[in-house]
Copies of this chain bind each other. A is one copy, B any other.
Amino acid sequence: MKTLSLNDIQNLDKRYRTQLINCVTGIKSVNLIGTKNKQGHTNLAVFNSVIHLGSHPPLVGFIQRPTSVVRHTFGNITEASYYTINAVTEPITMQAHQTSARYNDEESEFDETSLEAEYLNGFYAPFVKDSPIKLGMRLEDVIHIPANDTKLIIGKIVELHVDEAFIENDGHLALENMPVVGGVGLDTYVQTKKIERYSYAKPDQILKKL
């Protein structure tokens, strides 16, 4: 095992540190966030910081890096209040990754990556047609994180489109049987394979495998 102190970490080469520290928190979710500004211009961007905040109400967060440079996703969300979160699957990892390129205002990542936009139920923001889990989100709150000038963007799921073939009897959505990918660090995409599902844990009771 290698040990690095805070000082060691701070003295690492910037790119090396960014790679390493982005990996140490574990496997990440990978989602495409779809937005549209008031002029009707769409944007699509890959995020690996989407996180479950609560089920009742159904709240989802993600981290927005400092807004000193133009961030179309954040700008569009605060302008329109509605956005979409779409699970990334194995066939579209390359296109999803390409959305992280810095396109200018006139370009839409949908066009540039050939990911197809889909409008459902009159929802304002575009979904990703090929995704098997699509969340229609309404902005709830933007929380500033002073420690590094990032923001936690919080939204409520106002509609959910999901491939119901993978919903089990108790509500578990078996991502482990779907082509939904995970992420490692900044740039690596992984498929998953089930190890085990366990029963609700109680003291002095042996876990069941479900």
Contact = CB atoms under 8 A, between A and B. Distances in A.
A9 B157 contact: yes
B12 A148 contact: no
A27 B16 CA distance: 25
A60 to B, nearest CB: 6
Interface of A: 1-6, 9-10, 12-31, 49-61, 63, 85, 87, 90, 93-94, 97-104, 107, 112, 120-121, 132-135, 140-141, 143, 145-148, 150, 152, 154, 156-164, 167, 170-176, 180-203, 205, 207, 210
A172 B27 contact: no
Of residues A18, A85, A120, which shows the largest number of chain B Cβ atoms within 10 Å of its Cβ?
A18
Contact of A27 (B53, B156, B175): B175
Given A31-B26, A147-B140, A184-B175, A93 B195 contact: yes
A103 B203 contact: yes
Contact of A148 (B54, B171, B202): B54
A190 B188 contact: no
A101 B2 contact: no
B27 A28 contact: yes
A25 B131 CA distance: 12
A27 B182 contact: yes
A184 B174 contact: yes
A194 B205 CA distance: 36
B185 A190 contact: no
A93 B196 contact: yes
Contacts of A183: 27
Given A21-B157, A27-B181, A102-B203, 15 more contacts: A1-B161, A1-B163, A2-B164, A6-B158, A6-B159, A21-B54, A25-B85, A26-B180, A27-B175, A27-B180, A27-B182, A101-B201, A172-B185, A187-B198, A189-B197
